[in-house]
Amino acid sequence: MLLLLGVVLAGCAPSVAQSPVDAPTGEAAEKGQLLGSLYQDLFVMSEAEDVAIQDCMAQKGWTYFDGGVNLDEASSNKGAYVIDYDLAPREAAEQGYAFYMERRQRLSARNRTGEASKRHRQGLSEQQHQAWQEALDGGPDAEREYGQGIGGPSEGCVVEAYKEVRGPEWQRVSVLHYELQWLNRTAMQRVRADQRLAHARDAWEACMSDAGFDVDSPQAAVDRFAPDGEPSQSIGHDPSPAEIDLATADAKCRKQAELHQTWTDLVSRHRANVAMDNPDLLGEWAEYRATFMANARALLGDDTVDTVLDA
């Protein structure tokens, strides 16, 4: 069956000529990479804060579920878009869309940690729950003021953890990382609107059609085999023959249409452009990043932080 599929794919429409995407260099490349690493940076910061909150709550006599550092989840930003993956034909022929299905399972495992915390709180009396909540966020008054970015006079473990990890300017860091996330979204909007990506996607779709598959995007291809309901409790994926066929065609058409390469080149280019439009914000973030990364290393250890950043 796969041999026949390869014969069909050989007749796919030729890839369209792509407009060259100039790779960013110098300061533009540096700031673009800094913007591109935002997810991993925030992951490190959040995990360190969870450890700090857990320690703080324990000192106050309460249990806080943080679930530990999930290194598998550290790379999940690469799965924000199926097109992020450079799906190799051999991998597709052996594993189908395992890369994406297993990512869903890992995120589900993360959500189950939150459910464990919820069940723990449900086991507390109303008075105990109120005391637990006050230990965490400082109580209703502090929570209201914290929501305004101020922090209350009786700050709970959340604000204490923010100060421990983000440093004395923790409030500015809180605002700044949202501003940078907005810049990232702006860059991705420009990528999706770029005609060079549209041309590559059209070539991919034509190739898939020639191979006998009516799908309009890599995400739509994956979604055909995404499990319904709650993913499995265990990490693993057993692809069906139909999934193998589709994934194999997908992988070959991605390569022929230069879809993944066009996507990654455009992401780098537009991130660099957006970053250079906002150099002061990226420069400010670089300074704060040095502080919270040093604090995160003290809480998580160098090996854990390096693994996340390299994911």
Neighbours of 10 (CB within 10 A): 11
Is the whole model's pTM more than 0.85, yes or no?
no
295 — pLDDT class (breaks 50, 70, 90): very high
Q: Which of 229, 286, 289, 219 is nearest to 250 (CA)?
A: 219
Helix (H) or strand (E) segment spanning residue 55: helix 38-59
What pLDDT band is residue 116 in, cutting at 50, 70 and 90? low
pLDDT for 165 beyond 50: yes
At 91, phi and psi to the nearest 5? -60, -45
Q: How many angstroms separate the CA atoms of 199 and 14, rounded?
A: 12
Q: What is the pLDDT of residues 67-96, one digit of tens each?
A: 555 555 555 444 456 777 788 888 889 988
> Which pLDDT score is estimated for 279?
95
pLDDT score for 115: 52
Q: What distance in Å separates the CA atoms of residue 101 and residue 234, rounded to the nearest whole number?
A: 11
Structure tokens at 161: 């953890």
Domain ranges for the chain, please list them. Answer: 23-67+86-310
Whether 118 shows a pLDDT value over 70: the answer reads no
pLDDT digits (tens, 9 = 90+) for 171-197: 999 999 999 999 999 999 999 999 999
Range of weakest confidence among 174-183, 218-227, 285-294: 218-227
Confidence at residue 257, expressed as pLDDT on a 0 to 100 scale: 95
Q: What is the pLDDT of residue 76?
A: 47
Report the pLDDT value the prediction gives residue 146, as an integer from 0 to 100. Answer: 44
Is 80 exceeded by the pLDDT of residue 16?
no
Residue 150 token pair: 């101020």
Choose the weakest-confidence range: 31-40, 54-63, 92-101, 274-283.
Answer: 92-101
Q: Note the pLDDT of residue 79.
A: 46
Return the pLDDT at 144.
43
Calculate the average pLDDT of the chain: 80
Distance, in Å, from the CA atom of 6 to the CA atom of 291, rounded to the nearest integer, reads 53
- Can you tell me the mean pLDDT for 43-51? 92
Asked whether 308 and 68 are in contact (CB, 8 A), the reply is no
| pLDDT category of residue 66 using cuts at 50, 70 and 90 | low
